[in-house]
Structure 1
């Protein structure tokens, strides 16, 4: 009489199923297979601490988009006189800018810069040196955040679906779909790419969540309340983030742009 054993491993549970059958004529043993699958949702995201390491003066314009091109920050801002995409040096000085219809997300790519224009429902390619428009692509939803992984643009207006786009044509080439507390029904203010991961700033909140794009999972969360604690003048909402080194640049309608370091848990 031959018994077969099926082993199924799930999170925290080991189940053995033993079944007996009639004798086999061939005498060939059937292999025992073990499959293991642990989802990120079962483990849950870890908490990451934010530490303010630098504050660079700003004019208080409402920053809606933030990116990095070379050694410069690129901001899309709303001012009392209208919307502007501008380049800012390390001291916080605006070195050049161009008027736009509405401030939205910006992202530097290899040899270029993309800007989202929700008023015109378009993505606009610009020369990163002159900010001159070089191309315009129609987009159904030009809200939310935009960043560049080095391979794809990541574009998101809601936290449950991050669209992957070609950095040259802006065509959609894929998507990362998320579920759970940190993504369901949440709007996105900004995204910041760091390799195969993206930090997502949840609109109207102090929360940023880290998404592993390869695993389609939220793996870490961090609060920006430390920025408010260090600077009592930070009273508005956080408008935009962009990745730098081991942390983020954070901006809004504030008198400073803040560089924060992300510590622990990852």
Structure 2
């Protein structure tokens, strides 16, 4: 406990101007003590406290909040890295990085998620939100689509395996593939029923050249962020309603593209 007299003195020291040289301690005949900047009255017992200029500095540690029950808001954040190993002829790392940033910007424009590009780094698996690798997968050259053996796989994507790309398609198509696979990383499934969706195999050709997520894609992305990271999301009034019922399967979509398979 700090004595009352000393506590008063400390308060006076804080309040006094820097030019002051000291504080007078005055004690009257009854033993009452007062601290003042002027000399004591006649008949009082007087002593003087000299001000010091070697006070300790304020602590540099951040202050801890004393609020009870306060929970910081959750943030959805994902960082991508590019592994240029096995990069095929006809591609450049600089162009790949530009397309990665463009794909992130396309999703960030309407989805409540912080997407960042961390640069070039060897792929690390399993992926985590702070390290999602984008890599080339030569093994995909010999891998058929599981839903239709007549089709191959351009790439795959998920939050645990990152993005793996088949090293055989034109560089001009890369942005469309990255936007699609990045949608899988964000938790979106295929949506072949919506021909405007970047998650559909049946997307209109005109939209493929400008791979921007549809309004439904952005709604699904925000719903996924709510599920994965606990982000509070309220759909805009004009947002399309979520689809009810089963979606078109990959096999059905590929049959529409290639025709029915012969028995």
TM-score normalised by L of structure 1: 0.22
Give the structure, 1 or 2, with the largest relative contact order (CA under 8 Å, sep 6 or more). Answer: 1
Give the helix-richer structure, 1 or 2. Answer: 2
TM-score normalised by L of structure 2: 0.22
Q: Greater CA radius of gyration, 1 or 2?
A: 2
